[in-house]
Structure 1
Amino acid sequence: MNDLVPTAAGTADSANDIVVLRDVHKSFGQIEVLKGVSFQVKRGEVTVLIGKSGSGKSTALRCIDRLEKVNRGHIQVCGHVLTDPTLDLRQLRLDVGIVFQSYNLFPHLTIGENIMLAPRSVKKLGKAQAIALAQQCLSQVGLSEKFDAYPEQLSGGQQQRAAIARSLAMQPKVMLFDEVTSALDPQLTGEVLRVIEGLADQGMTMVMVTHEMNFARKIADQLVFMHQGKVWEVGPADVLDHPQTEELRDFLGHDL
């Protein structure tokens, strides 16, 4: 099990930790989904959450963006203490981008308009600046030619890459990915994973939930194995080669 040394509330465990979860509990009604989850994410590194369905991975991710409020524990992200009643939620959402399994693109807007929407409405960018930013982000995900296309004209993989570009347009400090390839076939999955790998190479801090074990092994600076709402093992990608718990051995035996 991963036990962190307690530190004063509101302080990160080290200056390089951009995300800190400490003894986080989250329940939905009578069902406790997170049972004291603790881990840290260093600036510029990729942390991958792995584990069986229902282990609490996606809930932990959603708590990092305060899409879910925790019942107990401490979370600090990009200097924001998420349990602080004076939390500036708008600033947190500027600092943290999140991409889900579903693309959530507006079908009546072009891809360029989808990407420009938040920078213009939230950051108050002018039209010319927003267009340049959208074009830059589309180029980053390999979709330069799709600026004027509508979502229905794109494949699932292209729509997911457009969703990533939309998050990048807000220039976040941390990117969260929640099972972004689970609805895609293997070929389209590869398209999206190559984009994420490119972001990792550029030094983007990322936390992702995935069942793609080979990709996790390739990209992760840190793996966090969750089981039944708790963190059981934390370490570099080679924890997959040397699991220390029966639970991780069992998970890998079923999923590799």
Structure 2
Amino acid sequence: MNTPTNESGAAVVLRDVHKSFGAHKVLAGVNLEAQRGQVTAIIGRSGSGKSTALRCIDRLETVDSGEITVCGRRVDDPHVDLKALRLDVGIVFQSYNLFPHLNIEENIMLAPRAAKGLDKAAARELAHSVLAKVGLREKATAYPEQLSGGQQQRVAIARSLAMQPKVMLFDEVTSALDPELTGEVLKVIEELAAGGMTMVMVTHEMAFARRVADQVVFMNAGRVWEQGSADILTNPTTPELKQFVQSEL
């Protein structure tokens, strides 16, 4: 296992990261740090590169050039231990990706048993523990189709928590939910933040970013255009962020 290569307390570091899909340049030199125990919210218009940047952090996409370090591991290294990386990093998408033929506790037990070798009893106990964290312990034996979209998304979060990651990534996890269900999912994320979980989240929820994020990163044209505390949403220094914030009101 690698030891951290940076001394700034950053759990995630991107240095001059470039990524293209064919002739389309998606990331054009991204520089970003996400500190341990803090929440980093990445905002920006559709097509600004924010979701691609997030997927590169977990090596779901490979970069063309630049460096990415996550929990001390060089993710851009072609020989990086992906299994070890994904034990450190949990990711939750806007689609829940739950197995419909398994009940909720079975969905959560699957990865800890396969990746960590937990026996059935220990995995079930862990499943119930993380379900309690997202307020769904009583749904352990229900099936995904019996749950609302918000409940399914909370199960997806619990499934990631069961792997006890050091960093959690969230990619627009509320974009498919109506406002009431969005609120219940954001409440879970806010509670994780209060507990000191390191999180990087791509979000369009400006009010939530203002309230919870330690750092807000505005991406535009494949670059980090402006970053700082949540105050940048009230007092943007670039015309691009000012226009973006106004369009989101």
Shorter-chain TM-score: which interval? over 0.9
Q: What is the alpha-carbon distance in structure 1 between the residues aligned to residue 4 and residue 120 of structure 2?
A: 39
Q: Deviations over 1:189-237 (max 9, x none)?
A: 0000000000000000000001000001001000000001111111000
Q: Does the CA contact (< 8 Å) of 2:4 and 2:71 recur in 1?
A: no
Q: Does the CA contact (< 8 Å) of 1:12 and 1:18 recur in 2?
A: no
Shift of 1:84: 1.6
Write the letter of the residue equivalent to 2:123. Answer: A
Q: Does the CA contact (< 8 Å) of 1:24 and 1:37 recur in 2?
A: yes
TM-score by length of 1: 0.95
Q: What is the alpha-carbon distance in structure 2 between the residues aligned to residue 12 and residue 37 of structure 1?
A: 19
TM-score by length of 2: 0.98
Shift of 1:241: 1.1
Q: What is the alpha-carbon distance in structure 1 between the residues aligned to residue 155 and residue 76 of structure 2?
A: 32
Partner residue in 2 for 1:126: 119
Within a 5 Å distance, the mapping from 1:173-192 to structure 2 comes to: 173-192=166-185
Q: Structure 1 residue runs of 4+, over 6 Å off?
A: none
Match status 1:209 vs 2:202: yes
Q: What is the alpha-carbon distance in structure 2 between the residues aligned to residue 139 and residue 232 of structure 1?
A: 39
Change in Cα spacing, 1:30 to 1:11, as seen in structure 2 (3 Å) is farther
Q: Does the CA contact (< 8 Å) of 1:42 and 1:205 recur in 2?
A: yes
Q: Does the CA contact (< 8 Å) of 2:91 and 2:170 recur in 1?
A: yes
Change in Cα spacing, 1:38 to 1:12, as seen in structure 2 (3 Å) is farther
Q: Deviations over 1:62-106 (max 9, x none)?
A: 000000000010000011101223210000011000000000000
Match status 1:231 vs 2:224: yes
Q: Which residue of 14, 21, 31 maps to 1:28?
A: 21
- % of aligned pairs identical? 68
Q: Which residue of 169, 180, 185 maps to 2:162?
A: 169
Within a 5 Å distance, the mapping from 1:1-256 to structure 2 comes to: 12-256=5-249
Change in Cα spacing, 1:15 to 1:245, as seen in structure 2 (3 Å) is closer
Q: Does the CA contact (< 8 Å) of 1:47 and 1:207 recur in 2?
A: yes
Q: Does the CA contact (< 8 Å) of 2:41 and 2:216 recur in 1?
A: yes
Q: What is the alpha-carbon distance in structure 1 between the residues aligned to residue 82 and residue 11 of structure 2?
A: 17
Q: Does the CA contact (< 8 Å) of 1:12 and 1:20 recur in 2?
A: no
Q: Does the CA contact (< 8 Å) of 1:21 and 1:37 recur in 2?
A: yes
Q: What is the alpha-carbon distance in structure 2 between the residues aligned to residue 194 and residue 145 of structure 1?
A: 18
Aligned with 2:183: secondary structure? helix
Shift of 1:13: 4.4
Q: What is the alpha-carbon distance in structure 1 between the residues aligned to residue 30 and residue 160 of structure 2?
A: 26
Write the letter of the residue equivalent to 1:66. Answer: R
Instruction: Report the number of matched residues.
Output: 247
